[in-house]
Structure 1
Amino acid sequence: MTSDLPNKRFLILCTLRIGDVLLTTPLIRSLRKAYPDSRIGVLVLKGMANVLEGNPDIDEIIESPHRTTLWNRLKEWHGLWRRYTYALSPVSSDRARFYAFLAAPFRLGFINAHTSSFSRRLLTHALLFDDETLHTVPHNLRLLEPLGIPPDGTVVPPTAGGSIPVQLSEKKYAVVHPYPKFTYKSWPLENWVQLVREIQKTSMLVVLTGSHAPDEKAVVREIARLTTALDLSGTLSLAATADLIKKAQFFVGPDTGITHLAAATGIPTLTLFGPTNPVKWGPWPTTQNCAQQPWHHQGSQHQGNVWIIQGSGPCVPCHQEGCDRHAHSKSLCLETLPVNAVLDVIQTLALAS
């Protein structure tokens, strides 16, 4: 199946959120390394392309709107029709499989137990999705097996050129990203305030990052008000945020896409985990061998440049949306995670440096 691949066109489909898109970059890097002259496109949902900014392995990015008119959707589908030779989808969804069917004659993707027989037939090579025991990076790389392509586990962060805000040049700083997308992954605001104050006692400048979403900016603004940390929320693109993080002394954040991005830059990355399964979704260390699993199911852990600080409890990780089973629920394991658990790791980093 690989004899005539060098002249082919590949499309990677990831119709999920920023963190999911970022974790497809090892798949893209593997294709680029194996066949540098092939053309590689990536299809993502509208608004997710910024996590791929500056990625040298990608020739084109296609943004698909969540919702649009039937006429615009038909034009989109017509524009995709067999533009590629191979379509690879790490997402197990009917939408991704259908777009793969439109885009290429050879289609590799995942199915699970509830995938309909019709949707399964949209793929020419179907693999069973593992949502429990295999990390997302090596899981995505399984799509290379039918093609005989060696895997490369490098997660490629976005970049806007490498510059950082002028007020931070020649200064040592830590980046704290306090706000996750979902409440059930959140840590109490007072804990973030205490953490920032303790870091500031070491004469380290603390920079707060976040999106321009009103709720997120309000939380970050309040932490900045109570600590005098530098609030850059809503002022940087995702790629510029990656450039900022890359030059930091260390990063602290919850279980969210920016934390995956921080880990990909190679700096020491501390992340707070509660309900989420770290085996599947722990940030990927930059030196990790993609043939090995970096994380265990339970317990605080360290691999490479990443520290997972996990809340405690007999149900951890429950794989649920918090204690009340919805996105706005609190998670007791995170609510009770002490600040000292994070400070102990920071102290270890300080001693090592």
Structure 2
Amino acid sequence: MARLSPPLDRIKPWRIGIYTGGEVIGDGLWKLPFIRALRSAFPNAHIIWIARSHTVYAGSLAPVVEGLLDTVLDDSGVIRRISDLFKPRPAIGPFDIILDTQRTVWRAFYLRRLLSRQPRGLMIAPASTYLFSDIKPEPGQQLPRHLGRLFVQWIEWLVQEPVQLDRGIELPADIVAKAGQALPDSAKRYVGFVPGAGDRRKCWPLARYIDLAGQLVLNRPDAVPAFFLGPDEADWRDEIAAAVPSALFPEQRQDIWGEGFSPLRAIALGQCLSLAVSNDCGTGHMLAAADCPLISLFGPTEAEKFKPITAGGCQVIHALDFGDSVDMDAIPVRPVLDAVLQKL
């Protein structure tokens, strides 16, 4: 029986296994576009997420992948150690397609053997320059450095046509309703501002975010700045509020959200925004998951590798656009304001 070969029938109920090492919140966010594209490409497939260790798709992001993934094998232990090569294979599968997102050769070899239960099965695995892969890059082909975009390209190899992020994320109704309470006026143009980042080198100076918000309100009276502050930026609130009296802090509304943190909150609020300006950080990826149009500010990190993927579009403004420095303070306010006004 001949092995499956592209282009694959997009309507068939293929059994597709995705093997990963596991996901913390940051991994789970940047992989979401890949999952959405896969479901868009194969709407009737049974998609199984095989996480070697813990994945947030079985935890805080479980509601986000509902309807996108059919099965999540959390902390599956599949090929955790090289000695597992000599143990009985786990009772998972069979699979028509396996996409191996890691690059360890002996794990790829194991998955190749796992796929042998299905004689026609097809596998894509990047380990050892796609040694175990049934589909390989063309000689000299430049592959995306952004892993999320690379994984989307794998899907395009399978179907031999571009795929779209046209499968949206469905959030719990109560979360959506609370976001609507925090940003309630449909006549306003809410613009998100994300001034923080875990690595402070990636932060555009707070004074420039404040200046940008003030100039935005002067140029567009219908615009309302909505600042997203993490726990490490909570003490910035008073300074921002004093300089920009119309600014809102929708994530800090404990009367609406209560205590604690959930990434679903930022995603739901992102659905209420007209656009957002963000540093290279996790909250930017949360807003991207909502398909919020983004203006993403980069300095010491590479936009080519870390730029958020969103159906709403992401415009990158990089410190290197203004000279030889990767310091975030190399980015002036005016071009960011111009980009915001153009998108509004």
**TM-score over 0.5 for the alignment?**
yes
Return the letter of the residue paired with 2:152.
L
Residues 136 and 200 from structure 1, CA distance in 2 versus in 1: closer, same or farther, beyond 3 angstroms? same
Q: 1:306 aligns with which of 306, 311, 314?
A: 314
Is the 2:193–2:227 Cα contact (8 Å) retained in structure 1?
yes
Amino acid of the residue matched to residue 245 of structure 1?
Answer: G
Which stretch shows the higher mean deviation, 253-262 or 193-202?
A: 193-202
Residue 9 (str. 1) matches residue 15 (str. 2):
yes
- SS of residue matched to 2:197: coil
Does structure 1 conserve the Cα–Cα contact (< 8 Å) formed by 2:292 and 2:310? Answer: no
Q: Quick check: 1:53–1:160 contact (8 Å CA) kept in 2? A: yes
Amino acid at match of 1:62: L
Name the counterpart of 1:166: 181
TM-score normalised per structure 1: 0.66
Structure 1 unaligned regions, length at least 5: 114-119, 211-215, 287-303, 317-330
Over aligned residue pairs, what C-alpha RMSD do you find?
4.1
User: How many angstroms does 1:142 deviate by?
Assistant: 3.6
One-letter identity of the residue aligned with 1:188: P
Tell me which amino acid in the other structure corresponds to 2:164.
G
Q: In 2, distance between residues paired with 1:270 and 1:95?
A: 41
The counterpart of 1:109, out of the listed 106, 117, 125, is: 125
Count, aligned residues: 297
Q: 1:224 aligns with which of 222, 237, 240?
A: 237
Alignment of 1:97-136 (within 5 A): 97=108, 100=111, 104-105=115-116, 106=121, 107-111=123-127, 123-125=132-134, 127=136, 133=144, 136=147
The one-letter code matched in structure 2 to 1:42 is: W
Which moved further from structure 2: 169-178 or 151-160? 151-160
Q: Where does residue 292 of structure 1 map in the other structure?
A: none
- Per-residue deviation, 1:135: 5.2
Structure 2 residue matching 1:87: 3-state secondary structure: strand
User: Sequence identity, in percent?
Assistant: 17
Query: 1:311 and 1:104, CA in 2 relative to 1: closer, same or farther beyond 3 A?
Result: same
Structure 2 matches for 1:1-353, cutoff 5 A?
1-2=3-4, 6-15=12-21, 17-33=27-43, 36=44, 38-44=45-51, 46=54, 48-49=56-57, 50-51=60-61, 53-55=63-65, 56-64=67-75, 81-85=91-95, 86-93=97-104, 97=108, 100=111, 104-105=115-116, 106=121, 107-111=123-127, 123-125=132-134, 127=136, 133=144, 136-144=147-155, 147-148=158-159, 150-154=161-165, 158=169, 159-161=171-173, 162-163=176-177, 164-170=179-185, 172=188, 173-201=190-218, 202=221, 204-210=223-229, 216-219=230-233, 221-228=234-241, 229-231=247-249, 232=251, 237-286=262-311, 305-312=313-320, 332-350=326-344
Q: CA deviation at 1:239?
A: 2.7
1:79-125 Cα offsets, whole Å, 9 max, x none, are: 95433413212343569747845864443221356xxxxxx76x453
Q: CA deviation at 1:29?
A: 2.0
In the aligned structure 2, how far is the partner of 1:99 from the partner of 1:241? 39
How far off is 1:27 after superposition? 4.2
Q: Is the 8 A contact 2:146 2:304 kept in 1?
A: yes
How does the TM-score come out when normalised to structure 2?
A: 0.68
One-letter amino acid matched to 1:283: P
**Take 1:183 and 1:78, find their aligned partners in 2: how far apart are those partners?**
47
- Distance in 2 (alpha carbons) for counterparts of 1:9 and 1:143: 16
Q: Contact 1:178–1:192 (CA<8 Å) still a contact in 2? A: yes
What is the CA–CA distance in structure 2 between the aligned matches of 1:156 and 1:78, rounded to whole Å?
A: 37
Q: Which structure would you say has the larger Rg?
A: 2
